[in-house]
Amino acid sequence: MHSAHQFDVSIYCDGACDPNPGHAGSGIVVYREGKLAQLWYGLYNPMGTNNTAELNALYHALRMAEAEIKNGHTVEVCSDSAYAINCIRSWAPSWEKKGWRKPGGEIKNLEIIQDCYAIYRRIEKELKLTHVAAHVGTEGNELADRMAMLAVQRKEKRLRLYREEMDISTLLKMQGG
């Protein structure tokens, strides 16, 4: 018997940048009831950083999560970026209280952090936001990494649905970040 999945929907997001700063892209992987459902890649930025790529991926994952929550689903969003998660879960509340300033100068990537935080605030009670370790073989994280690299390779500015065959072992052989 197959074990019940903890969440109706699990969304993995990842960013890649090569070199850093340089060519950045983002990838998102959606599982429904534990089965791979969708792969997304894009948000290419020729002058990006690892952090902007991670935040862009998280922003779109949160948008997807909000739509799923509105449809009554339980949702987990997984990111391997401690920075991106800390920005919205740990640091943004105090930055906001201080007028989006921090001691010692400007907050880098402020606009995308504010956009992420706005969605996060609306859904945080229903959302499980999880930090996952990178490059330890977690399938969703590895696939999100491959999609982020694909965005860089294809210089795809829009967030696009991956329409090719979703054979997991073949996908995992693609270039990683």
String of DSSP letters for 130-156: EE--TTS--HHHHHHHHHHHHHHHHT-
How confident is the model over 11-20, as a mean pLDDT? 96
Residue 102 is assigned to a structural domain of this protein: yes
How does the average pLDDT of the chain come out, rounded?
Answer: 95
What are the CA-CA distances from residue 35 to residues 22, 30, 38, 116, 163 (Å)? 33, 8, 9, 26, 17
d(CA 83, CA 18): 18
**What single-letter amino acid sits at 25?**
G
CATH number at residue 34: 3.30.420.10
Domain count, the chain: 1
pLDDT tens across 101-132, in order? Answer: 988 889 999 999 999 999 999 999 999 999 99
From the list 42, 36, 48, the residue with the least C-alpha distance to 12 is: 36
Q: Is residue 3 part of a domain?
A: no
pLDDT at position 2 is 41
Does the pLDDT value for residue 1 go beyond 50?
no
* Residue 132 falls inside a structural domain: yes
Is 2 inside any structural domain? no
Cis peptide before 19 (omega within 30 of 0): yes
pLDDT band at 4 (very low <50, low <70, confident <90, very high): low
What b-and-e string marks burial along 19-53, b requiring 16 or more CB atoms within 10 Å of the CB?
eeeebbbbbbbbbeeeebeebbbbbbbeebbbbbb
Q: Among 95, 121, 98, 94, which residue's Cα sits nearest to residue 108?
A: 95
The confidence score (pLDDT) of residue 32 equals 97
Range of the domain at 23: 9-171
Residue 1 lies in a domain: no
With residues binned 3-state (H G I as helix, E B as strand, rest as coil), the percentages for the chain, rounded to 5, are 40, 30, 30
Is position 39 within any domain?
Answer: yes
Domain for residue 134, yes or no? yes
| Integer Cα distance of 26 and 53 in angstroms | 6
Q: Which two tokens stand for residue 14?
A: 């990842």
Q: What is the pLDDT of residue 138?
A: 95
The tens digit of pLDDT for each residue in 20-57 reads 999 999 999 999 999 999 999 999 999 999 999 999 99
Asked, for residue 4, whether it belongs to a domain, the answer is no
- Give the mean model confidence (pLDDT) for residues 76-92: 97
Look at phi and psi of residue 25 and say left if phi exceeds 0, alpha if psi is from -120 to 50, else beta.
beta
